[in-house]
Amino acid sequence: MATTVKAMLAAANEAVPKVDPDQAKAMVEKGEALVVDVRDPQEVAASGKVKGALNVPRGMLEFSADPALPSYCKSGGRSALAAATLQQMGFPDVAHLDGGVEGWRLAGRPVEPATP
């Protein structure tokens, strides 16, 4: 069954407890919590982050949190999770590139240089 971002956010907000800034500060000071900032590095660079927070971009969260997994950067892991999310949202024609951008490059396909 298709879902929407609004429904996904509502489910997440219902399932995950919230703490206010004072509670979070106390938990961190007691060593009971680690703040993980899931914004992109450019956002963190532009606006700063909670002191001591670990920056793990949302696209890498699952891979960073699972010590049993090797790094899946550029090999299609993030695209597999993204494609699954789009399918859950009801997009019918979704696929992901096997091997990711690294597989594309190793197959001799052209890769554009990054733009500043």
Q: Is residue 77 part of a domain?
A: yes
The residue whose two tokens read 């695209």 is 79
Give the structural domain span for 75. 70-116
Active-site residue flag, 73: yes
Q: Is residue 16 part of a domain?
A: no
* Catalytic residue chosen out of the listed positions 7, 10, 73, 106: 73
If one counts the domains in the chain, the total is 1
The residue whose two tokens read 């997994």 is 69
Q: Is residue 10 part of a domain?
A: no
Q: Is residue 28 part of a domain?
A: no
Positions of the chain with pLDDT under 50: none
Q: Give residue-wise pLDDT tens across range 82-93.
A: 899 999 999 889
Q: Is residue 102 part of a domain?
A: yes
Q: Is residue 17 part of a domain?
A: no
Q: Give residue-wise pLDDT tens across range 34-51.
A: 999 999 999 999 999 999
d(CA 55, CA 72): 17
Q: Is residue 114 part of a domain?
A: yes
Q: Is residue 54 part of a domain?
A: no
pTM of the entire structure? 0.76
